[in-house]
């Protein structure tokens, strides 16, 4: 019982010690979860993108498996939370991607412990390659900004209608810019001639196809998140 005579339950006592943001965390911040997913998918894709994979005569990089999901989550951010929130997510992902690259670089330069014989393997797989880092970061910024901008502008022009058409349109433009920027910076001169054109076209086609195939999932997620945010805002 408090000095004023009010009975204080254990739950009330526990609540009084909560930090200012604990209530928001307890109720669940959907934007934070989506942002974390967005960043995680990007970091994983960037790490595995250093490997070139051959499917018969076709060459792709390892990022082709998860990177389409980065754009799908980006679509959710732009469609539900708006361009400003999407830009904030893009800048956050960019900063953490840059931090990851710098951390790998510092680790690579640090002297190996006596008896640790995997330095060459580490450098071969995760070694800091300025060209790849520049390609990845540049392509991500350009592609994501354009994707979010196109999606938001199309939403304004259509008054929020034709969601699937807007998602496909934004994907076609955003992925095109992303793929061309990345492939040109990262592999121009490494992959030559028609192999380079085929690599770029195949990577673009796979990413766009993956997003189209997953379109029902994207629209359902957008719908559920939007409804949940509308309920929370009431």
For the question of whether the overall pTM of this predicted structure is more than 0.85, the answer is no
Q: Is residue 191 part of a domain?
A: yes
- For residue 216, pLDDT beyond 60: yes
Q: Please count the structural domains in the chain.
A: 1
Q: What angle do CA 196, 90, 84 make, to 5 degrees?
A: 135
Hey, what are 98's tokens? 């840059």
Hey, what are 112's tokens? 């190996």
The mean per-residue pLDDT over the stretch 180-203 comes to 84
Hey, what are 92's tokens? 């956050």
Q: Is residue 13 part of a domain?
A: no
Give me the sign of the Cα torsion angle 219, 206, 208, 84. positive
- For residue 185, pLDDT beyond 90: no
Q: Is residue 86 part of a domain?
A: yes
The mean per-residue pLDDT over the stretch 120-138 comes to 79
Q: Is residue 11 part of a domain?
A: no
Q: How many CB atoms lie within 10 A of CB 174?
A: 26
- Residues 6 or more apart whose CB falls under 8 angstroms from that of 33 comprise none
214: left (phi over 0), alpha (psi -120 to 50) or beta: alpha
Q: Is residue 8 part of a domain?
A: no
CATH of the domain at 46: 1.10.1760
Which domain, by its residues, includes 32? 28-233
User: E strands of the chain, at which residues?
Assistant: 52-55, 58-61
Q: Across the chain, which distance is largest between two alpha carbons, in Å?
A: 84
Q: Is residue 106 part of a domain?
A: yes
Q: Is residue 127 part of a domain?
A: yes
Q: Which residue has the tokens 């934004």?
A: 170
Hey, what are 225's tokens? 């998140």
Q: Kindly list the distances between the CA atom of residue 45 and the CA atoms of 62, 65, 214, in Å, as whole numbers in the listed order.
A: 7, 8, 18
pLDDT digits (tens, 9 = 90+) for 46-95: 888 778 888 787 777 787 788 788 888 988 998 889 888 999 999 999 99
Q: Is residue 190 part of a domain?
A: yes
């Amino acid at each position: 019982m408090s000095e004023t005579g009010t009975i204080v339950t254990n739950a009330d006592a526990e609540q009084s010690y909560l930090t200012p943001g604990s209530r928001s965390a307890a109720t669940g911040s959907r934007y934070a979860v989506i942002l974390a997913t967005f960043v995680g998918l990007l970091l994983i894709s960037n790490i595995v993108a250093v490997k070139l994979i051959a499917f018969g005569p076709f060459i792709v990089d390892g990022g082709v498996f998860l990177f389409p999901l980065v754009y799908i989550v980006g679509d959710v951010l732009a469609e539900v939370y708006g361009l400003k929130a999407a830009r904030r997510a893009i800048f956050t992902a960019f900063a953490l991607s840059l931090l990851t690259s710098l951390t790998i670089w510092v680790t690579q330069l640090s002297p190996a412990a006596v008896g640790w014989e995997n330095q060459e393997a580490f450098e071969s797989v995760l070694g800091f390659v300025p060209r790849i880092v520049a390609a990845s970061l540049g392509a991500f910024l350009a592609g994501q900004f354009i994707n979010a901008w196109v999606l938001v502008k199309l939403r304004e022009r259509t008054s929020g209608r034709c969601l699937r058409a807007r998602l496909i349109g934004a994907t076609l433009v955003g992925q095109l810019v992303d793929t061309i920027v990345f492939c040109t910076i990262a592999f121009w001169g490494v992959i030559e001639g028609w192999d380079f054109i085929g690599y770029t076209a195949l990577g673009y086609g796979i990413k766009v196809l993956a997003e189209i195939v997953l379109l029902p999932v994207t629209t359902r997620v957008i719908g559920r998140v939007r409804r949940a945010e509308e309920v929370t805002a009431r």
